[in-house]
Structure 1
Amino acid sequence: MSIERISTEGLSGMRELAEAGLPPLPEALRSRLAECRTLPSLPASAARIIAIARSSDPRLADYARTIEQDPALTMRLLGMANSTFYSRGGNPVTTSLDALSRIGLDATLAVVLSFGLPRASSDQSLDHEYLCQRAILAASAVQELAQHLCPHDAPQLFTSALLQDIGILAFEALDGEAYTSAIPDLRQHQKLSEVEQARYGCDHALVGAWLAASWGVPTTIASGIIDSHGALEDGDARKLCLRLSCRIAECWLATDSASAFSSLLRQLTSVASLDIVMLMNVMQELQHRLPSLSRLFEITCPPAVDSTHLLAEAKELLFEQNLRMTIRLAEQQRELEALHASHVVLDEQHRTDHLTQLVNRPWLEKRLAQYFDCAKVAQQPLSVMFIDLDHFKRINDRFGHRFGDEVLIHFAAALNNMVRESDIAGRYGGEEFLVIMPNTDRRQASILADRIREYLAKQPLAQADGKPLHVTASIGIADLEDGEFENAAALVDAADHAMYGIKHGGRDGVGHYEEPGPGE
């Protein structure tokens, strides 16, 4: 049956097409394409379908009536709607309207545009059957991949992959044998693009996008034709699906498909968003669909691939991928542990007094505020002890600050050994020290104070001029029960006040805070 076709008369309306947002064609090539009268064209019915799609108020009934005027288009649409991919076990559809409702407008457009694919002929220098097989393979592969990575984009990606190589047909129409004799074998797709870039200033992907735009296809589909040729990389699921589908089609039709797929699978190990198991499922589903798709699009069915070899290769790569992941996880764990250790060190430095190695005043005040609030809420005892080493200025003046530092270091070490694990001892400033004692009343706090005084009486903190140097301390204790304290700072002031009472009374003693009477 002959099919009425509408000529595009070159890439007409170039000014209007420029508004599509596609990268520009080289000027010399653009002019030649605009004058070419033999560029690939669509059947008249397909052109009318696209016109309906571009109208302001397209309706399914309008599509159905137009499709039914073309028996070949109607049969292909029904075949697509009743395929395994779309029917999902449902009842077969028998009308164009039902088929449209089942597969949607994007898939319908793909069926329409499939009539722009080449047909095999004995007098053609290009292998049109290979191009058609490659288009169907890529379109089917991208549809399966998109179901996993970007389901909503699957219909438009199918159409972009289907039309990815129509630019080759445009170059053939433009230059005939001069083009076909200059390019390498079609199976060497990367080299083909390089030759086209050198000869025309762009490759067939860009020309194909402009040709599709001249047919009236949506810009997203035309842009997808350009995106189908590029590196495999993460970051954009649409581009990844398109580019991988092209690689799958190339490998499928390669002379040594097993080696080609083996090489491709190894390239994909660096693409984090791709899972080898998912990819094998896609390949198996593709192999299952190919015979029916070939009949639908009236092409010779591509040969089956060696699934046994592919599965063995995939298992080996899956093992390697898991091994790399295990190593990467172990490295990340080591990095996390090192980072945690670094944070521990920084935290320790942040809260530690560099001289005595006890906690510093900011940390003491922060923790005391927490303990104070908890004790208030839980109605539990809390005591603080304020310690001031007596006559410390005389020690510094007589023996020097370095000697005084030694005294502070020795006292801090002794204090740290005497407090309980639940207590927090820190340097408050100069020769002043503070001990926070949770769940401790004044009687229990006095026990620690007496131990400190006994230790200082028996143990010298340094040797001065060959003689032991004993130091005494004035100690003040404040218990949460000793008064109505508004905050933690007030509790520290109370302990400090009790300590100064000992200082004024002659030093070397322990004092407890007493709430002033009404007249005091």
Structure 2
Amino acid sequence: MRAEFEARLSCCRDLPSPPGIAMQILAMAQDPDVVMSTAADTIGLDVALTARMLRIANSPLYASRRRVDNLSQALTLLGLNATLTLALGFSLTSGLRPSGHGEAPCEEKVWRRSVISALASRLLGQRLGLHKLEELMLAGLLQDIGALVLLQLEPDAYRRILDDAPGAEELLMRERDSFGCDHAEIGQWMARNWNLPVLLQNAIGASESPVSETPFDACVAVSGYIAELWFNEDTGTVRDLAMAQAHTRLGVDRESFDGVIEQMTMVLPDIAAMFDIRISQPERISAMLEQARELLVLRNLREIQDASRARKDADESASRVRQLAEEVRRDPLTGVYNRAQLEQVLKKEFEAATRHGWPLSIAFIDLDDFKQINDRWGHQVGDQVLRKFAQTLQQRLRGSDIVARYGGEEFLAVLPGTGERAALAVIQRILSEVSAIAMVQLEDVALHITFSAGLATQGSVERFASAEQLLKAADEALYGAKREGRNRVAAGNIRS
């Protein structure tokens, strides 16, 4: 950056600046001793920010089977680090975004691109198994802040550059010719001036670089290429360029790339609404995804045809259909039944038990303090724990019993023909055995877990009108077990 231009930035009083609450949140984020209650008190003073935190806690990004109704629940679900990072992003955008909606089309386009990039950064990081997903979202959101600065300093000249530049490389070249620097350099200067974390400063500065030093920076850089799909009519060319960048920098293949785009189309309306901005879904993106699905189907058919002919081909096709049907029923991580299949099985078992007068017990199981495992050891270790626990639970039940992953770290065991006391004894025995087994061996550390469980039985003391009511009773019993200190089983009025 030219010295005279940097001096101009330093002396300019009209540059975007973070609102007061953003500075408070930033100070808390840099304080190692800050506690959740302090964050809640600060965020709670801003009604609009509180509403946004509730919306994102209930969004598809943090899908929970229970609705979050207040700020305390939202902060508990998100965790302290995610809360502060997301709150900083919301407060920055509310203070920096131009207030005249529709009166500043260039500024609005920059913000729309920023919101799309924020979501793309997060989903790419999630696909790679990165941990700093909220920081990725914030870096993606702020990577074009330098463009807003140029629109403030040189509104007429920079609008002409934005309108005339045919692509990203041409835009950067014209910025450097006119100002001696590009918007990424200016954005990094602004981030440093605001005292944002170095991780964000570096990602913003490298967002237009042809190479990336870290996967974090690469996710932010690639997100900009993905965002262009929403603005450039030449979808094929833009998609090929974005996919090439994703593959080269992140190792993302074609199918995974299309998966990220499809996730974005589903989540983007909710995310855009949180930032009070409207982002329409171009028909060309839907057409692109449909074409990708068709190509995938054709490729699968070609593989089947190449594998064999005539009867062998028919046999292999049938086998593939059965395999796909089974995969639809199974949770891809743990291999046990998924929630959709569970609902079907539970309904059938409930109807059979009610019709014949047989007992039917279900156990709602929740791994204790599982979030601490993810926070301390990482999500890959957390996934190993979930897989091992599911296997252990399945091995300790009868072949006629059913195990399903309900969601996250929650599982359900369905025990046909088993009364309440027998079911209680079974789950207590499994709890004792599970706690003695190392779920994961990490160097010299054996990772053990416990769980809390709630039991409900149809046909003993209570008669339920539906499988849903039986499930609700087990859920309430689970909460009773957790309230009493976890690492225990609760069944109606019986407590272990």
Distance 1:147 1:56 in 2: 26
Distance 2:36 2:290 in 1: 44
Tell whether 2:36 aligns with 1:60.
yes
Tell whether 2:193 aligns with 1:214.
yes
- Deviation string 1:148-207 (CA, Å, 9 cap, x unpaired) is 214213221111100011101111222232333344447733222111111222111111
Q: Among 28, 31, 42, which residue is 2:4 paired with?
A: 28
- Aligned residue for 1:306, secondary structure, equals helix
- Aligned residue for 1:152, secondary structure, equals coil
Higher-Rg member (1/2): 1
Distance 2:165 2:122 in 1: 23
- Deviation string 1:320-362 (CA, Å, 9 cap, x unpaired) is 9xx9xxxxxxxxxxxxxxxxxxxxxxxxxxxxxxxxxxxxxxx
- Deviation string 1:372-411 (CA, Å, 9 cap, x unpaired) is xxxxxxxxxxxxxxxxxxxxxxxxxxxxxxxxxxxxxxxx
CA contact (8 A) 1:125 1:177 kept: no
Q: Among 153, 161, 170, which residue is 2:132 paired with?
A: 153
Letter in 1 for 2:93: S
- Give the CA deviation at 1:55: 3.5
Distance 1:138 1:77 in 2: 20
- Give the CA deviation at 1:122: 6.5
Within-5 A mapping of 1:38-117: 38-55=14-31, 57-95=33-71, 97-103=72-78, 104=82, 105-117=84-96
CA contact (8 A) 1:81 1:93 kept: no
> Any unmatched runs of 5+ in structure 2?
303-496
- Deviation string 1:283-319 (CA, Å, 9 cap, x unpaired) is 1111000111121111012324433433424765999
Matched residue pairs, number? Answer: 296
Percentage of pairs with the same residue: 28
- Distance change in 2, residues 1:52/1:269 (3 Å): closer
- Aligned residue for 1:58, secondary structure, equals coil
CA contact (8 A) 1:168 1:204 kept: yes
Letter in 2 for 1:57: D
Q: How big is the alpha-carbon RMSD for the aligned residues of Structure 1 and Structure 2?
A: 3.0
Distance 2:166 2:38 in 1: 41
Tell whether 2:269 aligns with 1:294.
no
The match for 1:15 is: none
Q: Among 225, 237, 240, which residue is 1:247 paired with?
A: 225
The match for 1:307 is: 286
Distance 1:166 1:212 in 2: 9
- Deviation string 1:234-259 (CA, Å, 9 cap, x unpaired) is x7422331122111101222134355
Q: Among 243, 246, 251, which residue is 1:273 paired with?
A: 251
Letter in 2 for 1:26: R
- Deviation string 1:59-108 (CA, Å, 9 cap, x unpaired) is 2222211111111111111111111111333331412x332332223333
- Distance change in 2, residues 1:240/1:122 (3 Å): closer
- Distance change in 2, residues 1:271/1:315 (3 Å): farther
The match for 1:460 is: none
Within-5 A mapping of 1:101-180: 101-103=76-78, 104=82, 105-119=84-98, 121=100, 127-180=106-159
CA contact (8 A) 2:121 2:136 kept: yes
Distance 2:125 2:16 in 1: 28
Within-5 A mapping of 1:314-325: none
Letter in 2 for 1:74: T
- Distance change in 2, residues 1:102/1:119 (3 Å): farther
The match for 2:176 is: 197
Within-5 A mapping of 1:395-406: none
CA contact (8 A) 1:141 1:248 kept: yes
- Give the CA deviation at 1:224: 0.9
> Any unmatched runs of 5+ in structure 1?
1-24, 324-520
- TM-score with structure 1 length normalisation? 0.52
